[in-house]
Amino acid sequence: MQEVQARIRVMKRGQSPILISGEPGCGKLAAAMWLHRACHDKDAPFLAIDCSTLALGEAQAVVFGTEGAPAERPARRRPLGRADGRGALDVACGGMLVLEHVDALDVSFQEALLRRVGLTDPTLPAGSQVQLVATTNGNPGELVAGERLHPVLAQLPAANVLEMPPLRNRREDVIPLARYLLSLPGRTADAHAKAKGLTASAETALKTLQFRHHNAAELKDAIELAAVVADGPEIGAEHLFTGPKCDERRAEYEFGDSLLIRALVTGRAGRIVPPLVLAVFAALAVVCLVDRGGTAGQIANSLGWGLWWPSLVVLLLVVGRVWCAVCPFSQAGRFASRAFSLGRKPAAWMKKHTGLAMTVLFLAIIWSERFFRMPETPVATGVFLLVLTSCPVVLGMIYEREVWCRYLCPLGAISAGYAVASPVVVHANQTVCSSQCTTHDCSKGSAQEPGCPVFLHPLYVRDAHFCKLCFSCLRNCRHHSAKLYLRMPVLDIWKRAELSATLVPFSTVTFCVALIMLASQKDAWGTGSAAGFSLAVALAVAAGTGLGALLPRLLCGGEDRAPAARVAFALFIAAWGPLMAFHLDNIPGLDALGIHAATGSVLAQRFPTLDVPLLGMMQMAVIVLAAACALLSLLRIRQHLDGAIGRPAAWRWATLGVLCAAYVGLAGVLVLVRPA
């Protein structure tokens, strides 16, 4: 910004207008204030009008005033353009008039305005002319082509044009600006609160954020919110919330007011269910370990792999992360942290390598499942449940809240990926939060209820798929802003303003590994042995990692990861088919069921050898369902991407289409393969 300020200092006062362009929130009004200080006396008028707020036909009265208005009336007697008849040009005589979003005005009106400020008005005293400063968010050339900006403004001399750089292109300004915002008084609910500092993790996070939506204004909102949410004297990375906020125009249905939902959210039922689920899983683990070779152990093991896992995979796509609300592993960690916890902040490596850590742990689970043959070995399942429970317990006794669920849990990663497509979502009302809330208990917590266990804010949607649906924000929100909604499935994959790229590596790796998991059940591709399975998984991981790195270049020919994240989540939806087919094969007795023609029926006469296995039909059905959802998502992503950056080369999407078709075809072939 020092370069911008240097340009402003050499600009001279004159009748020629000045155009300031730049993205929303990058400081155009602040630049106009600096220009006023550099070009005018401190007592000279400075008036700014947001043209985008002017109703149709109101601009004439606001800017020029009404006819017959006395020129000497006080400027502040009544609102502009009202009973006193004075317009903005009269009020700003001898100073500066800033018209924000000037492209919101009609071009003919802009022409009349330029005619007025470009000539000496004989009705005004000498030397009292107005310096006009116009600001716009768009590119001046494109606005002229769209007949939204007068060509005179777009063709001003270079000395009269100032382009404000976006915050992401001047990262060296981010930390000083953040510190300055923290030093301002009255930034928290307590006007006398001391200014907070930034931890090293917070500074690192601020430097890596893109601020694509409102630039410096977005940083300002993030700093002010972080100052409220942070309990201690310092702000950490977990206290920073940026990106798009909830869109109040979305077609959603709020269903949290029903008796059943209220009982689960605020009643005792919601607090009783998680401990009950923990008790059931503890009993399953004990039975698997104690009666490892008996009937009880086999039944407990079958309940885990034949009932829990298939049901979990179905729930993930249908209702998102509702399992996380009753997860016995996180409940054990919650009990442990209440008994004893050091309360440390989340480690920096967790936040930086979340996607990598979740991917590694997920691969460890599927490899262990195959290597130790857990679906047939109760003792291996019992040990697996104990290890999975100990992770959140240990971390809960070290760190605050639930860092295992937010940054490391592989089941949480799968849940978060499918939560993007889920029709169930929790978010806040942007209007209520901005106008009424000053404490943000939904994220910070209150005396009665702890804050969000996974360090989220229901107002911000970029990381909303990490929400555990624990409903603590609904219980904490005193303004009833946070609510539970139903929406169209898979809509957010292409519709949400921004998707987090954290799970892109996990999504693409799972997309490739899911086929290996399905092949291992049929002993295809040499995956029947532990060595063959390990080699196949390693190759799939390499392919998935390469695919994740290739997507940005394939789709946009650059490094923009926004479209890549959307496509990665769509591929993750396609992977649901092989994953679900894999777990269907673990349901005891399902492979023995089939569809046969009744003896003596017409169908038996035409197809005497009809024998359709039910398992194969169900596996093909889930693969086709997942492929249809993924195809719909990819088509809509392409439409949105074409509208945003122009129509890209057709071969890019053709390549992606061939990849998906081959994927679905291979999955279908694997379903038809008979085990060796």
Whether 259 is in a domain gets the answer: yes
- Least confident residue range of 183-192, 323-332, 511-520: 183-192
- Residues 25, 151 within the same domain: yes
Whether 245 is in a domain gets the answer: no
Average per-residue pLDDT for the chain: 86
What percent of the chain has a predicted confidence (pLDDT) above 90? 43
- Residues 234, 104 within the same domain: no
Residue 121's pLDDT is: 47
Sign of dihedral through CA atoms 580, 584, 585, 591? negative
Whether 533 is in a domain gets the answer: yes
Domain that holds residue 635: 504-672
Dump pLDDT digits (tens) for 428-457.
998 898 888 888 999 999 888 889 999 999
Sign of dihedral through CA atoms 172, 173, 176, 182? negative
Work out the pLDDT band at 633, boundaries 50, 70, 90: very high
Whether 561 is in a domain gets the answer: yes
- Residues 261, 138 within the same domain: no
- Residues 545, 597 within the same domain: yes
Residue 647's pLDDT is: 60
- Residues 159, 175 within the same domain: no
Q: How far apart are CA 237 and CA 229, in angstroms?
A: 11
- Coil vs helix vs strand at 239: helix
- Residues 173, 152 within the same domain: no
Cα-atom radius of gyration of the chain, to the nearest Å? 31
CATH number for 208 = 1.10.8.60
Torsion of CA 135, 140, 144, 146, to 10 degrees: -90
- Residues 417, 522 within the same domain: no
Residue 336's pLDDT is: 95
- Residues 196, 343 within the same domain: no
Residue 84's pLDDT is: 58
Q: Say if residue 448 is exposed, middle or buried (CB neighbours under 10 Å; 0-12, 13-18, 19+).
A: exposed
Residue 31's pLDDT is: 92
- Residues 327, 434 within the same domain: yes
Residue 194's pLDDT is: 58
What is the mean pLDDT of the segment spanning 277-292?
A: 94
Whether 248 is in a domain gets the answer: no
Please check the confidence at residue 187 and state whether its pLDDT lies above 90.
Answer: no
**CA 289 and chain centroid, separation:** 41
- Residues 405, 272 within the same domain: yes
Residue 37's pLDDT is: 87
Residue 644's pLDDT is: 59
Whether 136 is in a domain gets the answer: yes
Please check the confidence at residue 85 and state whether its pLDDT lies above 60.
Answer: yes
**Domain's final residue, options 165, 187, 203:** 165
Q: How far apart are CA 456 and CA 538, in angstroms?
A: 34
Which token pair is 515? 């086929």
Residue 71's pLDDT is: 41
Work out the pLDDT band at 8, boundaries 50, 70, 90: confident
Q: Which residue has the higher pLDDT, 113 or 583?
A: 583
Residue 195's pLDDT is: 64
Dump pLDDT digits (tens) for 193-252.
456 889 988 999 898 888 888 898 999 999 999 998 988 888 988 899 998 888 767 788
Whether 73 is in a domain gets the answer: yes
- Going by C-alpha positions, the residue among 320, 325, 324 that lies closest to residue 265 is 325
Dump pLDDT digits (tens) for 531-540.
999 999 999 9
Residue 606's pLDDT is: 77
Residue 11's pLDDT is: 79
Residue 118's pLDDT is: 64
- Residues 278, 404 within the same domain: yes
The length of the chain in residues reads: 676
Count how many domains the chain has.
4
Whether 565 is in a domain gets the answer: yes
**Domain's final residue, options 165, 194, 224:** 165
Please check the confidence at residue 74 and state whether its pLDDT lies above 60.
Answer: no
- Residues 146, 174 within the same domain: no
Reported pTM: 0.85
**Domain's final residue, options 193, 208, 239:** 239
